[in-house]
Structure 1
Amino acid sequence: MPAIHYRLRWPDASETVSYSPSLAIQDFLQADQDYAVADFLVRLNDATRIANERVQAKFGFVCSRANDQLADSAARVAAFAHQPDARVRVLGFSPA
């Protein structure tokens, strides 16, 4: 199963490299796109659910790293929830 990294720029200009165990993330997020933080989290939840379904089907368990990544991103989103115009930018994707 091909895994992928994706780089994000958060509303405070910090950048992170995130992990997905499946290319499904590219069905929900596009490079060089900005997403309102709430929309970003919905998309990330959906992508992680699908990725975990694929991992479960192939290996018999979900990807704890993907779940940890989702939890970290959710915490970051919560930090910007009070900013109605806060956006996350997807900088790009690279093979894991």
Structure 2
Amino acid sequence: MPEMTFLIRWPDGAVERCYSPSLVVKEHFSPGENYPVGDFLDRARTALTIASARVEAIYGRPCSLALAQLARIEQGARRFPDPAARVAVEAFED
């Protein structure tokens, strides 16, 4: 299964490298785009849940790395309660 990382920039300028065990992230984000934190979080939940389910379909258990990445994203998003705050997806790294 192809895996990938993607770089995001939080509203405070912090850059984070995120992991996905599947390329499904490319269906939910576009490099160079920025998203309101809530929308980014919804897209990340969808993409990483699908990615984990794909791993489960092959290996019989969900992907702990994808679920841990989602937990980190959810934790990071809590720092930005302002609905106008935006997260940038800077790049995909296959």
Same fold (TM over 0.5): yes
| DSSP 3-state at the match of 2:58 | helix
Following TM superposition, where does structure 1 have runs of at least 4 consecutive aligned residues deviating by more than 6 angstroms?
A: none
Shift of 1:32: 0.3
Structure 1 residue 46 corresponds to structure 2 residue 43: no
Task: Provide the residue aligned with 1:16 in structure 2.
Answer: 16
Q: Mind listing any 5+ residue stretches in structure 2 that lack a counterpart?
A: none
Question: Taking structure 2 as the reference length, what is the TM-score of the superposition?
Answer: 0.97
Q: What TM-score results when the alignment is normalised by the length of structure 1?
A: 0.95
- Cα distance, 1:23 vs. partner? 0.2
1:25 maps to 25
Aligned residues of 2:35 and 2:88 also touching (Cα < 8 A): yes
Equivalent position amino acid for 1:24 in 2: V
Alignment of 1:14-93 (within 5 A): 14-81=14-81, 83-93=82-92
Identity, in percent, stands at 39
Q: Aligned residues, how many?
A: 94
Q: RMSD in angstroms over aligned alpha carbons?
A: 0.7
CA displacement at 1:84 relative to structure 2: 2.2
Could you tell me which runs of 5 or more consecutive residues in structure 1 were left unpaired when the two chains were aligned.
Answer: none
How far apart in 2 are the matches of 1:34 and 1:49? 21
